[in-house]
């Protein structure tokens, strides 16, 4: 069941990435760079920081809203991958019990604060990564990476992987379904059956690769996967990166929430 859920999750992200919105139309490079800046800015906060992270939510919220990405879907995926971060972070309260005041009169142990900080950072970075793929087609990201200087061979690997991901996942899913259908109880799901399934899939994959190679040769392949795409960065892309960068810098070095709070309290009297 996990397999099918994961498969449909990928399929959904993939379909979202071919929409046509302002965000989708931005150059992949611009989005990759902005997302990386975002992640670095977020994780560069010290471990007890929570409030100063809040303004950063503007980035995923804006991208998600303007890119017309269902918020619930992204939120569910973030929760789904959280176990490791939670598993490691949950020990903070145990080993870091110093008392801190999070508000006047509200004391908690420092570990809870750093744990909460990990969770907030986690939500921010993971949702940003998911939104990147939800608003940029995978081939787009690959072309962006190529332009950013990654080796052509590696990028062509990514592209092939993407192309055959769905084909092979469907193949694997059919096999798993057949296994689960005929394995009553646990017996069919054991390691030996798994090895046989993986072995068969491997051989089929190799044979498929041979056929693909044949098809490539038939169309003049001579060791180089050509590309005709020549995107140029438009002014809007540059503006996007610049604006995002400035915003991240602002939120990183200026305590925005404190200032807003002071302002509000000042206004209130």
Of residues 96 and 233, the one with the C-beta less far from another protein? 96
Among 72, 153, 184, 267, indicate the residue that binds another protein (CB under 8 A). 153
- Smallest separation (angstroms) from another protein to the CB of 44: 5
Which is nearer to another protein, 159 or 233 (by Cβ)? 159
Integer Cα distance of 16 and 5 in angstroms: 16
According to CB under 8 A, which residues from 36 to 95 bind another protein? 36, 39-40, 42-44, 46-48, 50-52, 54-55, 57-58, 61-62, 64-66, 68, 71, 77-78, 81, 84-85, 88-89, 91-95
Report residue 258 CA to chain centroid gap: 30
CA distance 58 to 55: 6
Minimum distance from residue 96 beta carbon to another protein (Å)? 4
Q: Min. distance of Cβ 218 from another protein in angstroms?
A: 5
Instruction: Report the nearest approach of another protein to the CB of residue 108 (Å).
Output: 5
Which of residues 196 and 234 has its CB atom nearest to another protein in the complex?
Answer: 196
| Minimum separation from the CB atom of position 239 to another protein (A) | 18
Nearer to another protein, 245 or 257 (CB): 257
- Phi, psi angle pair for 50, to nearest 5°: -125, -55
Chain positions 158 to 197 lying near another protein, rule: CB under 8 A, are: 158-169, 171-172, 175-176, 186, 189-197
Q: Which residues inside 133-152 make contact with another protein, applying CB under 8 A?
A: 133, 137-139, 141-142, 150-152
267 part of the interface to another protein, by CB under 8 A: no
Q: Encode burial over 179-192: b for 16+ CB neighbours within 10 A, e otherwise.
A: eeeeeeeeeeeeee
User: Nearest 5°: phi and psi at 107?
Assistant: -110, 135
Least Å distance, CB 92 to another protein, is: 4
Backbone region of residue 178 per phi and psi (left: phi > 0; alpha: psi in -120 to 50; beta: other values): alpha
Radius of gyration of the chain (CA): 23
User: The dihedral of CA 106, 107, 113, 115: what is its sign?
Assistant: negative
Residue 170 to residue 188: CA distance in whole angstroms: 20
Count, residues near another protein per rule CB under 8 A: 156
What SS3 state is found at 208?
A: helix
Contact (CB, 8 A) for 136 and 17 = yes
CA 206 to CA 219: how far, in whole Å?
20
Among 13, 26, 33, 116, binds another protein (CB under 8 A): 13
Pattern 211-250, binding to another protein, x per CB under 8 A? xxxxxxxxxxxxx-xxxxxx--------------------
Q: Which is nearer to another protein, 65 or 239 (CB)?
A: 65
Among 24, 30, 33, 114, binds another protein (CB under 8 A): 114
B/e letters for 88-116, b = 16+ CB within 10 Å, e = fewer, are: ebeebbeebeeeeeeeeeeeebbbebbbb
């Amino acid at each position: 069941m996990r397999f099918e859920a994961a498969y449909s999750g990928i399929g959904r992200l993939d379909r979202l990435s071919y929409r046509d919105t302002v965000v989708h139309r931005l150059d992949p490079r611009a989005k990759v760079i902005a997302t990386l800046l975002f992640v670095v800015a977020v994780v560069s906060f010290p471990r007890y920081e929570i409030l100063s992270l809040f303004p950063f939510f503007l980035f995923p919220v804006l991208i998600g809203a303007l890119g017309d990405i269902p918020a619930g879907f992204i939120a569910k995926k973030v929760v789904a991958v959280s176990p490791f971060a939670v598993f490691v972070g949950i020990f903070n309260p145990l080993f870091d019990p110093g008392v801190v005041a999070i508000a006047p009169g509200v004391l908690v142990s420092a570990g809870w604060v750093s744990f909460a900080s990990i969770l907030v950072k986690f939500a921010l970075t993971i949702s940003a990564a998911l939104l990147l793929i939800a608003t940029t087609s995978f081939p787009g990201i690959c072309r962006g990476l190529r332009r950013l200087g990654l080796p052509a061979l590696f990028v062509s690997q990514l592209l092939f992987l993407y192309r055959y991901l769905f084909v092979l996942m469907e193949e694997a899913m059919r096999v798993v379904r057949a296994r689960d259908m005929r394995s009553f109880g646990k017996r069919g799901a054991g390691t030996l059956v798994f090895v046989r399934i993986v072995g068969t899939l491997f051989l089929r994959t190799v044979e498929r690769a041979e056929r693909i190679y044949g098809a490539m040769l038939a169309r003049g392949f001579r060791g180089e996967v050509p590309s005709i795409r020549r995107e140029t960065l438009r002014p809007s892309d540059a503006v996007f990166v610049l604006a995002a960068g400035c915003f991240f810098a602002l939120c990183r070095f200026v305590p925005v929430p404190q200032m807003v709070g002071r302002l509000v309290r000042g206004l209130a009297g």
